[in-house]
Structure 1
């Protein structure tokens, strides 16, 4: 499978919203419970930032998802650390796309001077947990009973990798 990545521009937000809204409605991968607006989505992603980047993921020239890095905390002393996020379109899981995307975004972060990447994952998101562990991330935190979605109380796990 041929993967390629394209820098996200504002014009891509409807495509990203469609992917993200599926996760809102069908999973605990996000703690949003209602579809978000394009303006809210703009707040999650960076366009032309010197440290953080956002990419569309294409598998064999078809949109397969998106990935991005963002602030861990919006304080300058944390600029060496970023949070990494990957969302694949429903049906693209289990094909190696997540792993290749995570390795790609790690290289981009490393080139920008990022030293640590964090993945914040819901405790029952077995697929994401397996992905991050396969890519060398380890659990660095557990927030017990931190969120509630679909009537379930859920932990949130922090995964970290020094790059």
Structure 2
């Protein structure tokens, strides 16, 4: 089941987030968070009218997805950048695709125009998932990040959410 997150999901979301921080280049951060941090994070998203979707399986949160402002300037207000994370033991099997399809539908209903994916360039599985969903590669930024003692390249992909020719 895919549903909007509640504060009761904060511990599970923190666990998924922290696993990615500690063991992957999916999140370019070195600091783990606690459930209280994620309660505030969920509330801030909801206050901004932005979804935090969770995938629940047999009573457990196994993934989450959300989006936020691509950049803070007014001219970018209809462009969002998303985040998608699946619990390590549940990756594969279409969970990411299900969450992304729900998030894309929400963004379309919300009147968004472009969704941006910023992915560590060696993450072939994530890039492939996004391309299957219609995202197109639009750029690569070499060595803009670092983690685990090495430089990271950022692949940028985007999905056009509507056919408007003007805002």
Which among 126, 129, 139 is matched to residue 128 of structure 1?
126
Q: TM-score by structure 2 length?
A: 0.86
Q: TM-score by structure 1 length?
A: 0.88
Equivalent-residue separation in structure 1 for 2:62 and 2:144 (angstroms): 30
The answer to whether the 8 Å contact 1:8/1:47 transfers is: no
Aligned to 2:139: 141
Measured after TM superposition, the shift of residue 60 of structure 1 is 4.9
Aligned to 1:69: 67
Number of residue equivalences: 159
For the residue of structure 2 that corresponds to 1:77, the secondary structure is helix
The answer to whether the 8 Å contact 1:121/1:157 transfers is: yes
Gaps of 5+ in 2: 162-167
Aligned to 1:14: 11
Measured after TM superposition, the shift of residue 144 of structure 1 is 0.5
Distance 1:96 1:60, change over 3 A: farther
Structure number having the greater helix percentage: 2
Superposed CA RMSD: 1.9
